[in-house]
């Protein structure tokens, strides 16, 4: 369920429309940057970087411009095909697993298609709007419950079975196969899908923001984080590249010391990873002192990006 908390918090609607500029800017810039690795109060001449992109949608506005139209613009057919394929594969492996009882619920599995996947996703999102203690309560017939919007679209057993088998990536087929080193390999296709989709359909404004967020999670997880000054102190830490209006352009999940951007220079590596598609376009990035460093400011300046942060 944690990945749906992440997905639901990612998307917000936008009505801005724009296209990329067809001409390249003729900026003059030298790659030579001199620094003595110390902060100074002396005034210096800044490089003049012109913002060369047009912010807004890179695709046409959906048919009626309703929230549901933007949802389907972000989650296209490739997304549903991915989920249906991996979910059906996992259900088949569970059905063929040695030791499964003949009357087990998995024996009732039928291959899922696009429409059933969409109905399931919408019901999951709706459980975040109507909050009950147990999933079974959404299918109760008692007059204090009786939410027919759930039973009309999917039975309780079908919902719970699909929830059990819901998958985004294939598991190792046998014990001899090496387990992926990526701690997020089960949801990596979903993360890559979102970041690629946002890069293809929308270009942000000149001002960008970088910060981290916590998705509440108190269960057992090797890379669960504790951040004292957050409302949700325990959970999964996300690094987010956003606009001032809170629209998330790209995000990364921190998975601990084995993270691809982990180790020495971790904060700078995260920033460079998040803005990798926005280089040399004259953006201005705002960040706090967790990311801020002379090394990072120098790297961003070489890539024609202004950097504004707290003095450390």
CA dist list (Å): 107 to 100, 161, 237, 298: 9, 10, 38, 60
Asked if the structure places residue 10 within a domain, the reply is no
Q: Is there a single domain that holds both residue 92 and residue 123?
A: yes
Q: Is there a single domain that holds both residue 94 and residue 53?
A: no
Q: Is there a single domain that holds both residue 302 and residue 237?
A: yes
Q: Is there a single domain that holds both residue 152 and residue 216?
A: no
pLDDT given at position 259: 67
Q: How many helices (H) and strands (E) does the chain have?
A: 9, 8
d(CA 101, CA 93) in angstroms, rounded, equals: 14
CB atoms within 10 A of CB 216: 13
pLDDT given at position 175: 61
Count of residues in the chain: 312
Q: Looking at the 3D structure of the chain, how many domains does it have?
A: 2
Query: DSSP secondary structure string, 44-92?
Result: -PPP-PPP----EESSPPPSS--HHHHHHHHS-HHHHHHHHHHHHHHHH
Q: Is there a single domain that holds both residue 237 and residue 298?
A: yes
Q: Cβ contacts of residue 234 below 8 Å, gap of 6+?
A: 214, 216, 217, 218, 224, 225, 226
Q: Is there a single domain that holds both residue 79 and residue 46?
A: no
Question: Which contiguous run of DSSP H or E holds residue 212?
Answer: strand 207-216
Q: Is there a single domain that holds both residue 149 and residue 221?
A: no
Asked if the structure places residue 209 within a domain, the reply is yes
The residue from 111, 141, 165 where one domain ends is 165
Q: Is there a single domain that holds both residue 232 and residue 303?
A: yes
Asked if the structure places residue 1 within a domain, the reply is no
Residue for token pair 């549903």: 80
Residue for token pair 């001002």: 207
pLDDT given at position 29: 40
Question: Which contiguous run of DSSP H or E holds residue 226?
Answer: strand 225-226
d(CA 76, CA 202) in angstroms, rounded, equals: 15
Asked if the structure places residue 16 within a domain, the reply is no
Give one word for 68, left, alpha or beta, with left for phi > 0 and alpha for psi -120 to 50: alpha
Residues 44-65 pLDDT 10s: 666 788 898 999 999 998 878 8
Residue 88: domain span: 75-165
Q: Is there a single domain that holds both residue 211 and residue 304?
A: yes
pLDDT given at position 33: 45
Asked if the structure places residue 229 within a domain, the reply is yes
Asked if the structure places residue 6 within a domain, the reply is no
Q: Is there a single domain that holds both residue 97 and residue 158?
A: yes
Q: Which CATH number does the domain housing residue 217 bear?
A: 3.30.420
pLDDT given at position 14: 35
Q: Is there a single domain that holds both residue 55 and residue 86?
A: no
Contact 194, 206 (CB under 8 A): no
pLDDT given at position 289: 83
Tokens representing 276 are 């990798």
Tell me the pTM.
0.78
Per-residue pLDDT of the chain (312 residues; tens, 9 = 90+): 444 444 434 433 333 333 333 333 333 443 444 455 666 666 666 678 889 899 999 999 887 888 889 999 999 999 999 999 999 999 988 887 766 677 777 888 888 899 999 999 999 999 999 999 999 999 998 888 888 889 999 999 999 999 999 999 988 766 656 677 888 889 999 999 999 999 999 999 999 999 888 888 888 888 888 878 777 788 998 999 999 888 999 999 988 776 666 667 788 889 999 999 999 999 999 988 888 888 888 899 999 999 888 765
d(CA 197, CA 189) in angstroms, rounded, equals: 12
d(CA 162, CA 113) in angstroms, rounded, equals: 12
Q: Is there a single domain that holds both residue 84 and residue 52?
A: no
Residues 72-106 pLDDT 10s: 999 999 999 999 999 999 998 888 776 667 777 78
The residue from 117, 145, 165 where one domain ends is 165
d(CA 6, CA 251) in angstroms, rounded, equals: 10
Choose among 112, 64, 106: nearest CA to 86: 112
CB atoms within 10 A of CB 34: 5
pLDDT given at position 124: 94
Asked if the structure places residue 183 within a domain, the reply is no
The residue from 113, 145, 165 where one domain ends is 165
Asked if the structure places residue 5 within a domain, the reply is no
According to DSSP, the β-strands at 306-308 and 207-216 are unpaired
């Amino acid at each position: 369920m944690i990945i749906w908390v992440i997905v639901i918090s990612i998307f917000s609607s936008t009505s801005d429309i724009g296209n990329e500029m067809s001409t390249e800017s003729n900026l003059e810039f030298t790659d030579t940057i001199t620094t003595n690795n110390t902060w100074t109060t002396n005034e210096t001449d800044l490089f003049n970087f012109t913002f060369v992109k047009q912010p807004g949608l890179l695709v046409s506005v959906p048919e009626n411009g309703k929230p549901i139209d933007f949802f389907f613009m972000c989650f296209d057919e490739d997304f549903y095909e991915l989920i249906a394929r991996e979910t059906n594969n996992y259900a088949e492996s569970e059905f063929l697993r040695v030791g499964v009882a003949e009357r087990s619920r998995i024996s009732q599995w039928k291959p899922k298609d696009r429409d059933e996947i969409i109905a399931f996703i919408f019901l999951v999102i709706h459980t975040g709007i109507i909050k009950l203690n147990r999933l079974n309560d959404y299918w109760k017939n008692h007059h204090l419950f009786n939410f027919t919007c759930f039973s009309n679209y999917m039975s309780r057993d079908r919902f719970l079975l699909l929830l059990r088998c819901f998958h985004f990536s294939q598991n190792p087929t046998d014990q001899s196969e090496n387990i992926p080193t990526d701690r997020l390999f089960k949801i990596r296709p979903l993360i890559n899908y979102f970041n690629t989709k946002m890069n293809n359909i929308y270009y942000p404004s000149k001002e960008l923001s970088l910060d981290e967020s916590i998705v509440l999670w108190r269960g057992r997880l090797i890379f669960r984080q504790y951040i004292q000054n957050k409302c949700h102190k325990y959970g999964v830490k996300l690094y987010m590249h956003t606009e001032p209006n809170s629209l998330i352009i790209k995000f990364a999940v921190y998975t601990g010391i084995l993270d691809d951007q982990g180790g020495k220079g971790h904060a700078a590596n995260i920033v460079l990873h998040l803005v990798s598609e926005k280089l040399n376009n004259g953006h201005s990035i705002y960040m706090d002192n967790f990311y801020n460093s002379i090394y990072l400011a120098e790297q961003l300046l070489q890539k024609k990006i202004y950097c504004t942060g707290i003095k450390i």
